Amino acid sequence: MICRQCRTSLLSRLVIQSPTPVSTSTCSRAIQRGQLRNYSLPGPPPAPRQPGPSEKPITIPSAISSASPGVSQPLSTPEGVHVDVNPEKPKKPATQREPSSCPPGTKLQGLNYFKNKPDLFALDDSEYPEWLWTLLDDKKNQSKTDMGGVDVSTLNKKQRKRHEKKMAALAASLPRKIPVHEQATDITPAPYNRTDDSQRDIIAEAAESLEKRSEITKSARAARRKGIREANFLRGL
């Protein structure tokens, strides 16, 4: 509740205004003013502050630095300089070879001895394997032991016949190599034929006996095939 004194003081402060008629033109102007907005272009950016002659410039250290303190690395390489991330190993210099006598695409006669196979044509020198070019190397640098004692290709007809007779006599003087299937082999030794009294491994002995048996079988088959070929050749004479 408000007391009378407060009420009278409040009423005395209020100013009674007389109502004034409002025209349509005044209302329309007020609406237009509310709808219109004033737009202005942004001003120029403020000029950067330049330090005076007495002030020292402030430097910011680089975020990327090397392992040693005080030494920084550049963030980018200068223009025009190409740096390879994964450098390759230096390639060996290509050896100078004599060009082949057959140009690429030449048909090679006498090399295709397979039936129903396409003919062979010469390739470019770079497409041949490396070992093929070593066949033309000088044989003088190699020792005679690597060449089997004597290079037969360098001998004439008389020297070759003499060398063949010498090799045949040398082979005849050597002892005959007895095949495995003609040897007396104890595949699985009996207990009374054992020389050692140590503990034996049955599985290891069985595996060893199987290897011996397979070796003897292969030797016997090769001997039989050789005999069959000789018999067929003599029968066809």
pLDDT tens digits, one per residue of 162-200: 999 999 998 888 888 888 888 877 787 777 767 666 677
Give a yes or no: residue 102 inside a domain: no
Give a yes or no: residue 14 inside a domain: no
Give the range of the structural domain holding residue 214, as residue numbers without chain letter: 179-186+207-236
Tokens 């029968």 found at: 235
Number of domains, the chain: 1
Distance CA 13, CA 18 (A): 16
Give a yes or no: residue 170 inside a domain: no
Give a yes or no: residue 201 inside a domain: no
In the three-class reduction of DSSP (H, G, I as helix; E, B as strand; rest coil), residue 65 is classed as: strand
Measured from the Cβ of residue 89, the count of other Cβ atoms closer than 10 Å reads 5
CB 188 within 8 A of CB 203: no
- Of residues 135 and 179, more confidently modeled: 179
Give a yes or no: residue 137 inside a domain: no
**What would the pLDDT profile of 68-117 be if each residue is shown by its tens digit?**
444 455 555 555 555 555 656 666 666 777 778 888 888 888 788 788 88
Q: 46 vs 39, 43, 52, CA distance in Å?
A: 21, 9, 18
Measured from the Cβ of residue 125, the count of other Cβ atoms closer than 10 Å reads 14
Distance CA 120, CA 110 (A): 9
Q: What is the pTM of this model?
A: 0.30
Alpha-helix residue ranges (DSSP H) falling in 55-141: 130-133
